[in-house]
Structure 1
């Protein structure tokens, strides 16, 4: 147990290496917690105190260091919308007629989506449409 500080140092080093592959500043918090635990172990404190120091410092860094790092080190990255929200404003082609008050199908980039329209008129097959809204996996379209 005299050289337990080396184990904590190895944990810190491994966490730093793993953080390089992830890049979301989560694993680095464990590395930050392992460094004071290694110092406490080198001083000669018991295993219980080492674990408590590791846990406390890791939790503090999760709540304070990680948000700070994400805010300042990921500044300037574009905020990409993903999934169904990325469909808003996209154009597509009707592959199954959309009945007023009913459903049809629209193809956008090779994917086919269930679609409705707010207008009182039907949208025929082959018409070009634009996505104006969505509710779950059903998109609302307007004729272009």
Structure 2
């Protein structure tokens, strides 16, 4: 039984797809697309083996060269929407009980009451003052 070259390319693409699922390496998907392009070249245009390999190499390389930098840029970007504790950093709060560096004070932050301490050890904030939240450590807001 003689198998057509386009079928070998599709088998190779399927193997690369399985490898993609197992390893989660996106480059394998780009190689699989290159193999499909080579299969189309073999099946539709009937190109010889050198032409098929050239199409595979060019398509795969082009996809890797174009898509990898875009994916890396997206992976490096921080999420636009801050949630949880990250969303509270930089917010203003109102002092409910005197806040100093010892950590015994209380503030009202985003409608909730938080324990708080001063970032600056020499600074204390009195009831009613507005403070800025610079960090959250556990359940304690660090303010200034």
TM-score grouping bracket, smaller chain normalisation: 0.3 to 0.5
Compute the TM-score of the two structures, normalised by the length of structure 2: 0.45
Compute the TM-score of the two structures, normalised by the length of structure 1: 0.45
Largest Rg, 1 or 2: 2
